[in-house]
Structure 1
Amino acid sequence: MKKPALIILALLLLVFISIYFIIPQKIKTTSAIQIDASDMNVARFLVNKRAWQKWWPGKFNTQDSSRYTYKNMAFTLHDNTNGSMPALISYGNTKAGSSLTYNSIEEGSCMVYWTVEMQTSLNPIQRVKEYFEIKKLGGELQDILRIFKKFMQADSNVYGFTFGIKKIDYEYMMVTATQTTAYPASDVVYKLIDQLKNEAGKQHLQQVATPMLNVHQTDENAYQVTVALPVNKPFSANNSIKMEKMVLGGNLLQTSVNGGPGNIKNAFRQLKRYQKDHHLISPAMPYELLVTNRSEQPDTSQWHTTLSWPIF
Structure 2
Amino acid sequence: MKRVISFLVILLFAALAAGYFIIPGDTTIVTGIDIKAPMGRTGDFIGGQQLWSKWWPLPITGNNATYNGNMFRVTGREGNIIETEIIHKDLGTLGGRILMAGPLVDSTGLEWSVNASLGSGPLARVKNYFAAKKLKKDMAAVLLALKKFAEKQENIYGMIIEKTRVTDTVLVATRNDYDHYPNTDDIYKMVDKLKAYIKSENAAETNAPMLNIQRADSSHFEAMVAIPTNRLLNGKGDIEQKRMVPGNIIWGQVKGGQATVEYALQQLENYKYDNRLTSPAIPFALLVTDRRAEPDTSKWITRVYYPIF
Number of the residue aligned with 1:75: 71
In the alignment, the residues of structure 2 paired with residue 191 and residue 242 of structure 1 have an alpha-carbon distance, to the nearest angstrom, of 16
Number of the residue aligned with 1:268: 265
In 1, are the aligned partners of 2:33 and 2:110 still within 8 Å (CA)? yes
Are the structure 2 counterparts of residues 102 and 37 from structure 1 closer, same or farther at C-alpha, using a change threshold of 3 Å?
A: farther
Number of the residue aligned with 1:181: 179
Farther off after superposition, 284-293 or 126-135 = 126-135
The DSSP-based 3-state class of the residue aligned with 1:140 is helix
Q: Deviations over 1:33-78 (max 9, x none)?
A: 123445443443323444323321124333xx2x3332x4322537
In 2, are the aligned partners of 1:165 and 1:254 still within 8 Å (CA)? no
In the alignment, the residues of structure 2 paired with residue 213 and residue 152 of structure 1 have an alpha-carbon distance, to the nearest angstrom, of 30
Q: Which amino acid in 2 is paired with 1:86?
A: E
Which residue of 62, 75, 98 corresponds with 1:101? 98
The DSSP-based 3-state class of the residue aligned with 1:275 is helix
CA offset at residue 30 of structure 1?
0.2
Q: Which amino acid in 2 is paired with 1:84?
A: E
CA offset at residue 177 of structure 1?
2.2
Which residue of 275, 289, 292 corresponds with 1:278? 275
In the alignment, the residues of structure 1 paired with residue 74 and residue 305 of structure 2 have an alpha-carbon distance, to the nearest angstrom, of 42
CA offset at residue 210 of structure 1?
0.9
Number of the residue aligned with 2:302: 305
Q: Deviations over 1:237-278 (max 9, x none)?
A: 33433322222252233342411x333333333332332233
Query: What are the ranges of 5 or more consecutive residues in structure 1 without an aligned counterpart?
Result: 1-9
Are the structure 2 counterparts of residues 265 and 224 from structure 1 closer, same or farther at C-alpha, using a change threshold of 3 Å?
A: same
Aligned residues: 298
Number of the residue aligned with 2:28: 28
Instruction: Give the TM-score taking structure 2 as reference length.
Output: 0.80
Number of the residue aligned with 2:88: 89
Q: Which amino acid in 2 is paired with 1:310?
A: P
In the alignment, the residues of structure 2 paired with residue 16 and residue 191 of structure 1 have an alpha-carbon distance, to the nearest angstrom, of 83
Are the structure 2 counterparts of residues 178 and 75 from structure 1 closer, same or farther at C-alpha, using a change threshold of 3 Å?
A: closer
Query: What are the ranges of 5 or more consecutive residues in structure 2 without an aligned counterpart?
Result: 1-9
CA offset at residue 18 of structure 1?
5.5
In the alignment, the residues of structure 2 paired with residue 85 and residue 108 of structure 1 have an alpha-carbon distance, to the nearest angstrom, of 24
Are the structure 2 counterparts of residues 189 and 109 from structure 1 closer, same or farther at C-alpha, using a change threshold of 3 Å?
A: same
CA offset at residue 232 of structure 1?
1.9
In 2, are the aligned partners of 1:168 and 1:252 still within 8 Å (CA)? no
In the alignment, the residues of structure 2 paired with residue 296 and residue 123 of structure 1 have an alpha-carbon distance, to the nearest angstrom, of 76
Number of the residue aligned with 1:295: 292
Number of the residue aligned with 2:144: 146
CA offset at residue 196 of structure 1?
2.3
Are the structure 2 counterparts of residues 183 and 28 from structure 1 closer, same or farther at C-alpha, using a change threshold of 3 Å?
A: closer
What's the C-alpha RMSD, in Å, of the aligned pairs?
A: 3.3
Q: Which amino acid in 2 is paired with 1:282?
A: S
Instruction: Give the TM-score taking structure 1 as reference length.
Output: 0.79
Farther off after superposition, 261-270 or 121-130 = 121-130
In the alignment, the residues of structure 2 paired with residue 38 and residue 119 of structure 1 have an alpha-carbon distance, to the nearest angstrom, of 34
The DSSP-based 3-state class of the residue aligned with 1:61 is coil
Are the structure 2 counterparts of residues 59 and 306 from structure 1 closer, same or farther at C-alpha, using a change threshold of 3 Å?
A: closer
In 2, are the aligned partners of 1:178 and 1:226 still within 8 Å (CA)? yes
Number of the residue aligned with 1:4: none
The DSSP-based 3-state class of the residue aligned with 1:198 is helix
Q: Deviations over 1:63-98 (max 9, x none)?
A: xx2x3332x4322537436531111222xx554725
Matches for 1:137-286 after TM superposition, within 5 Å: 137-259=135-257, 261-286=258-283
Q: Which amino acid in 2 is paired with 1:267?
A: A
In 2, are the aligned partners of 1:102 and 1:110 still within 8 Å (CA)? no
In 2, are the aligned partners of 1:215 and 1:226 still within 8 Å (CA)? yes
Number of the residue aligned with 2:3: none
Farther off after superposition, 142-151 or 159-168 = 159-168
Number of the residue aligned with 1:5: none
Are the structure 2 counterparts of residues 47 and 196 from structure 1 closer, same or farther at C-alpha, using a change threshold of 3 Å?
A: closer
Are the structure 2 counterparts of residues 296 and 51 from structure 1 closer, same or farther at C-alpha, using a change threshold of 3 Å?
A: closer
Number of the residue aligned with 1:6: none
